[in-house]
Amino acid sequence: MNPLIRPVILCGGSGTRLWPLSRSGFPKQFLALSGNDQNTSLFQEAVRRLNQIGDKSSSATTGASIALGGTLIVTNEDHRFLVLDQLREMEGVNATLLLEPVGRNTAPALTLAALYAQEINIGMDNDPILVITPADQTIQDADAFLSALQSCISVVVGDANNKTIAILGIAPTAPETGYGYIKRSAIKGSFAEYAVEQFAEKPNLETAKAYLDNGNYFWNSGMFVLRAGTWLAALQEYRADILDATKKAWDQKTEDQADGRAFVRPNKELFNTISGESIDYAVIEKCPGSKYQTKMVELNAGWNDLGAWDAVWQVGNKDADGNVTSGDVLLSNSRNSLVHASSRLVSAVGLDNVIVIETADAVLVADRSKSQNVKHIVNQLEAQQREEKNLHRKVARPWGWYDSVDEGERFKVKRIQVKPGASLSLQMHYHRAEHWIVVKGTAEITNGDQVITLTENQSTYIPQGQTHRLANPGKTPLEIIEVQSGSYLGEDDIVRFEDNYGRGS
């Protein structure tokens, strides 16, 4: 029986150290940050990398071809339409979305993928090999990555007992204190793999320097390969509580589809009871020396987890003065700096090792060497319950997007775009009225008992408390200007009666 590969993309996390570009409502994995392609997000790069396995891989142990199954994407319920939008831009990707109602760290996330992989039997392999990667990393050398990944697959395929875990380790280039480490043995195996002797927590600087000098310590990339059954068996042994709770939520799952993609949702109430734990803490760190053989294959492919703005500068395309720029930027007498402009001209004079990130509603200025500490700003935003922590001024929605152009006392102005064939929910507001002006396309508007069609330069008024809906019946994007007026203009003043996207009130 040919080995079956299931790519697994762990697409959670909020990327708080990359604020203000990354926010909880639009985290870093959906941004184009790697310098490889300014039009491709980190998530899209991860999907593309893993889907290149099938054409080039074969088992060096059995000589059998390796079949590539559909990609499993484990993501947050709130991000499902971001995932769909970005998958829509990619051709030929067969993907299923496993939707977590709430984040419970990576161990339950991987467990969902393993349960699904074993449950879906396509007649090839009832215990498929999972190739697992986070969605928010960058790889500069795709060929080197595929070669190392194929070695990991061969290591797992070659284990007749199906108890091997193969991990990609990164040779450290500096005494990095922000990564966990893998200590390997000195003896290389048949597929360039080494036995893992132990895992080490994020070290202090002195310890990190000792690891670098030792030569047998590698950064833990968080990318690994194992059988679905291996993960479930090891989780049963080391954290049976997580497995049992996840199984209960999984057994009461629901399934539906959107845009030709399957959505699989574990039971929300039962999923909320699961103990949050990482893959490493729950299982992987306990495996060296156990019956679950743990192997490491070195990855030398320009890997970076983009954990802070300094890392984005490191992988960026630099000018002659070491500056990395994006957007409308003008620099003078500046060196080794990262300047990102999202919505306007940003100019700077005399910068040296500085980060400047401009968005429509927030600007970050930081010493490049202190960019890890951006998380402290995010903590302050959270303590003050400021919306800039969660959402950009321009907010993606399953039907399109809206951009809050201006606001003041008792008014707010939005620019709204609706995709062809899409519609907002049938809804009502207690505290505001709305004026809609069509600037592009055709709008079908439900306003109380009336349904009207408006085109460019036509407008309508939605009274406070009136049931209403905006839809785009055309084949081109619809764009309107919305002017809200009232005593309260928060996004939570909405009652939904009908919704095409499974959202409640």
Residue with tokens 């984005």: 312
Same domain membership, residue 372 and residue 419: no
Q: How confident is residue 345, by pLDDT bands cut at 50, 70 and 90?
A: very high
Same domain membership, residue 338 and residue 425: no
- Average pLDDT of the chain to the nearest whole number: 92
The per-residue pLDDT for 62 is: 40
Residue 13 within any structural domain of the chain: yes
The per-residue pLDDT for 454 is: 98
DSSP class of residue 275? P
The full 3-state SS of 162-231, as one line of letters, equals CCCEEEEEECCCCCCCCCCEEEEEEEECCCCEEEEEEEECCCCHHHHHHHHHHCCEEEEEEEEEEEHHHH
Same domain membership, residue 454 and residue 413: yes
β-strand pairing of 394-397 with 478-486: unpaired
- What CATH number has the domain bearing residue 456? 2.60.120.10
The per-residue pLDDT for 122 is: 53
Using alpha carbons, select from 444, 498, 440, 439 the residue that is nearest to residue 471: 444
Q: Report the alpha-carbon distance of residue 213 to residue 221 in Å, rounded.
A: 20
Q: Which of 380, 406, 435 is the last residue of a domain?
A: 380
DSSP class of residue 410? T
Residue with tokens 């497995």: 243
- Identity of residue 377: I
Same domain membership, residue 405 and residue 355: no
Name the phi and psi angles at 461, rounded to 5. Answer: -125, 130
Residue 345 within any structural domain of the chain: yes
The full 3-state SS of 6-19, as one line of letters, equals EEEEEECCCCHHHC
Residue 491 within any structural domain of the chain: yes
Residue with tokens 């142990």: 61
Residue with tokens 């299923």: 96
Q: Report the alpha-carbon distance of residue 187 to residue 443 in Å, rounded.
A: 68
The per-residue pLDDT for 3 is: 80
Q: Report the alpha-carbon distance of residue 284 to residue 295 in Å, rounded.
A: 11
Same domain membership, residue 465 and residue 421: yes
**Structure-token pair, residue 483:** 């002017």
The full 3-state SS of 100-164, as one line of letters, equals ECCCCCHHHHHHHHHHHHHHCCCCCCCCCEEEEEECCCECCCHHHHHHHHHHHHHHHHCCCCCCC
The per-residue pLDDT for 120 is: 83
Evaluate whether 20 touches 363 at the Cβ level (below 8 Å): yes
Q: Report the alpha-carbon distance of residue 399 to residue 391 in Å, rounded.
A: 17
Bond before 20 cis per omega within 30 degrees: yes
Residue 474 within any structural domain of the chain: yes
Q: How confident is residue 241, by pLDDT bands cut at 50, 70 and 90?
A: very high
Using alpha carbons, select from 130, 215, 135 the residue that is nearest to residue 165: 130
The per-residue pLDDT for 255 is: 92
C-alpha neighbours within 13 Å on the C-beta side of residue 501: 19
Instruction: For 66-93, give one letter per residue: b (16+ CB within 10 A) or e.
Output: bbbbbbbbbbbbebbbbbbbbbeeeeeb
Q: Report the alpha-carbon distance of residue 18 to residue 363 in Å, rounded.
A: 12
Same domain membership, residue 325 and residue 444: no
Q: Which of 328, 351, 380 is the last residue of a domain?
A: 380
DSSP class of residue 369? G
What proportion of the chain, given as a percentage, has pLDDT over 70?
95
Q: Report the alpha-carbon distance of residue 72 to residue 109 in Å, rounded.
A: 11
Q: CA torsion, points 314, 183, 47, 255, in degrees to nearest 10?
A: -130
Same domain membership, residue 477 and residue 350: no
Q: Is the dihedral of CA 474, 479, 485, 488 positive or negative?
A: positive
Each residue of 290-316: pLDDT tens digit? 999 999 999 999 999 999 999 999 999
The per-residue pLDDT for 501 is: 80
Residue 284 within any structural domain of the chain: no
Phi-psi region of 78 (alpha: psi -120 to 50; beta: other; left: phi over 0): alpha
First to last CA, the chain: 49
Using alpha carbons, select from 133, 128, 119, 149 the residue that is nearest to residue 57: 149
Same domain membership, residue 268 and residue 140: yes
Residue 231 within any structural domain of the chain: yes
Residue 281 within any structural domain of the chain: no
Same domain membership, residue 404 and residue 371: no
Number of domain units in the chain: 3
**Residue 146 scores a pLDDT above 70:** yes
The per-residue pLDDT for 462 is: 97
Residue 155 within any structural domain of the chain: yes
Give every CB contact of residue 226 below 8 A, 6+ residues apart in sequence.
129, 130, 132, 156, 164, 165, 166
The per-residue pLDDT for 407 is: 93
The per-residue pLDDT for 61 is: 42
**Residue 58 scores a pLDDT above 50:** no
The per-residue pLDDT for 1 is: 59
Give every CB contact of residue 491 below 8 A, 6+ residues apart in sequence.
none
Each residue of 64-106: pLDDT tens digit? 567 899 999 999 998 998 999 999 999 889 999 999 999 999 9
β-partners of residue 452 are 445
The per-residue pLDDT for 13 is: 79
**Residue 132 scores a pLDDT above 60:** yes
**Residue 232 scores a pLDDT above 60:** yes
β-partners of residue 166 are 225, 295
**Residue 165 scores a pLDDT above 60:** yes
**Residue 56 scores a pLDDT above 60:** no
Q: How confident is residue 200, by pLDDT bands cut at 50, 70 and 90?
A: very high
Same domain membership, residue 363 and residue 319: yes
The per-residue pLDDT for 172 is: 93
Each residue of 412-468: pLDDT tens digit? 999 999 999 999 999 999 999 999 999 999 999 999 999 999 999 999 999 999 999
Q: Report the alpha-carbon distance of residue 404 to residue 463 in Å, rounded.
A: 20
Using alpha carbons, select from 388, 382, 338, 332 the residue that is nearest to residue 362: 388
Q: How confident is residue 160, by pLDDT bands cut at 50, 70 and 90?
A: confident
Q: Report the alpha-carbon distance of residue 344 to residue 358 in Å, rounded.
A: 8
**Residue 505 scores a pLDDT above 50:** no
Same domain membership, residue 376 and residue 398: no
The per-residue pLDDT for 92 is: 86
User: Containing domain of residue 459, as a range?
Assistant: 394-498
Instruction: For 141-153, give one letter per residue: b (16+ CB within 10 A) or e.
Output: eeeebbbbbbbbb
DSSP class of residue 321? T
